[in-house]
């Protein structure tokens, strides 16, 4: 008597819930923005390596190294702009696809994972001239940050996968865990702040203890369950209270006026806003992720 097959038998009329051809479509404009994101991340990594070579044989940071690091920071911020545009363009045009989501995550791991890790490693820990005992610590912290970013992106892709979404069910648009672009922006803003200090004081080793703890905190927040507000639902038809509008204008003006100080304040404010809101929530909401007036988040 033949043994029954251990593999499940599919009905002849079975149709997969997702069409492979539709899911793998490449829409030009959104994926062009994602390619721009990847290019900026790659350029940021190259600038970090060039800055490291510029520091060889130098006492402290040279002018060329500071310029290269600033370019790396600029590329990270530019990558954040491309990352914000690709998803928005896809949603506006109704051209979202699984290919676009996966491509976006691959670009994000380079721009917002690898590039910030190299930025901190080469600038603050200075492997070419820093303390030898910091080499192992710097590499470990950089990997922890990169690992947290990869886990954060993978978890987001799983949670938002179409197979797990109920038709017609609206979800809370808050992020679970610190978004990877916000994490990279915080690191870049702090590095930019320190670079402006370095133009007056070439020795940055005294700041070596400032970035590693922040990098570790950011890594923990990325894989945490702390909720952070999302701006994905904001468009030209979005209405808001006058108070909120004034706050946003003041924040934008502060960034333009005070530049690196304003950007650092905004990034740190976003991080601690999520932390404060998390600790003020009732324990039942933290555990279940549900509140009386909201649906489960994505």
Residue 293 has pLDDT above 50, yes or no: no
Residue 296 has pLDDT above 50, yes or no: no
- Looking from the CA of 182 toward its CB, the CA atoms found within 13 Å total 25
pLDDT at 284: 46
pLDDT at 292: 40
How many whole angstroms separate alpha carbon 194 and alpha carbon 187?
A: 11
Contact 225, 286 (CB under 8 A): yes
Residue 137 has pLDDT above 90, yes or no: no
Contact 155, 281 (CB under 8 A): no
227-228 and 175-176 beta bridge pairing: antiparallel
pLDDT at 295: 43
Helices (H), 128-210: 133-159, 180-198
**Mean pLDDT, all residues of the chain:** 76
Residue 131 has pLDDT above 60, yes or no: no
- Looking from the CA of 103 toward its CB, the CA atoms found within 13 Å total 25
Contact 183, 149 (CB under 8 A): yes
Q: For residue range 24-79, what is the model confidence (pLDDT) as tens digits?
A: 565 667 888 899 999 999 999 999 999 888 877 666 677 888 889 999 999 999 99
Q: Enter the tokens of residue 117.
A: 């890790």
Residue with tokens 């740190």: 268
pLDDT at 76: 96
Count H helices, E strands: the chain? 11, 2
- pLDDT band, residue 183 (cuts 50/70/90): very high
Contact 138, 125 (CB under 8 A): yes
> DSSP string of 117-142?
HHHHHHHTS-TTTS-THHHHHHHHHH
Give the residue extent of every domain in the chain: 23-166+173-288
Q: Enter the tokens of residue 194.
A: 């320190």
Q: For residue range 233-289, what is the model confidence (pLDDT) as tens digits?
A: 665 566 667 776 787 787 777 777 777 788 888 888 889 888 888 888 765 445 445
Q: What is the DSSP letter of 298?
A: -
How many whole angstroms separate alpha carbon 52 and alpha carbon 119?
A: 10
Residue with tokens 């922040």: 214
Contact 223, 152 (CB under 8 A): yes
Contact 99, 26 (CB under 8 A): yes
C-beta contacts of 10-17 below 8 A and 24+ residues apart: 17/162, 17/163
pLDDT at 120: 85
Q: For residue range 204-245, what is the model confidence (pLDDT) as tens digits?
A: 556 656 677 888 899 999 999 898 887 666 655 666 677 767
How many whole angstroms separate alpha carbon 175 and alpha carbon 17?
A: 26
How many whole angstroms separate alpha carbon 298 and alpha carbon 296?
A: 7
Q: Enter the tokens of residue 271.
A: 């991080």
Contact 124, 208 (CB under 8 A): yes
Q: Give this prediction's pTM.
A: 0.80
């Amino acid at each position: 008597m033949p043994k029954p097959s251990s593999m499940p038998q599919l009905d002849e009329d079975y149709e997969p819930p997702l069409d492979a051809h539709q899911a793998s479509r490449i829409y030009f404009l959104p994926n062009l923005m994602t390619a721009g994101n990847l290019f900026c991340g790659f350029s940021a990594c190259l600038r970090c390596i060039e800055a490291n070579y510029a520091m060889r044989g130098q006492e402290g940071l040279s002018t060329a190294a500071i310029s290269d690091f600033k370019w790396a920071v600029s590329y990270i911020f530019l990558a954040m702009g491309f990352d914000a545009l690709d998803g928005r363009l896809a949603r506006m045009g109704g051209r979202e696809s699984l290919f676009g989501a996966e491509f976006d995550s691959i670009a994000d791991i380079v721009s917002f994972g690898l590039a910030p890790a190299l930025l901190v490693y080469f600038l603050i820990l200075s492997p070419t001239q820093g303390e030898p005992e910091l080499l192992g610590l710097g590499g470990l912290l950089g990997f922890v940050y990169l690992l947290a970013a990869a886990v954060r992106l993978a978890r987001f892709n799983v949670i938002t996968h179409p197979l797990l979404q109920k038709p017609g069910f609206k979800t809370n648009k808050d992020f679970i865990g610190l978004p990877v672009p916000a994490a990279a922006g915080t690191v870049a803003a702090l590095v930019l702040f320190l670079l402006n200090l370095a133009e007056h004081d070439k020795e940055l080793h005294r700041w070596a203890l400032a970035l590693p703890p922040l990098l570790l905190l950011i890594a923990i927040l990325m894989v945490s369950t702390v909720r952070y507000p999302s701006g994905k639902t904001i468009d030209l038809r979005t209405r808001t209270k006058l108070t909120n509008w004034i706050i946003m204008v003041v924040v934008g003006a502060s960034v333009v006026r005070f530049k690196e100080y304003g950007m650092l304040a905004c990034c740190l404010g976003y991080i601690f806003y999520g932390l404060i809101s998390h600790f003020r929530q009732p324990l039942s909401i933290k555990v279940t992720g549900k509140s009386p007036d909201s649906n489960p988040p994505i």
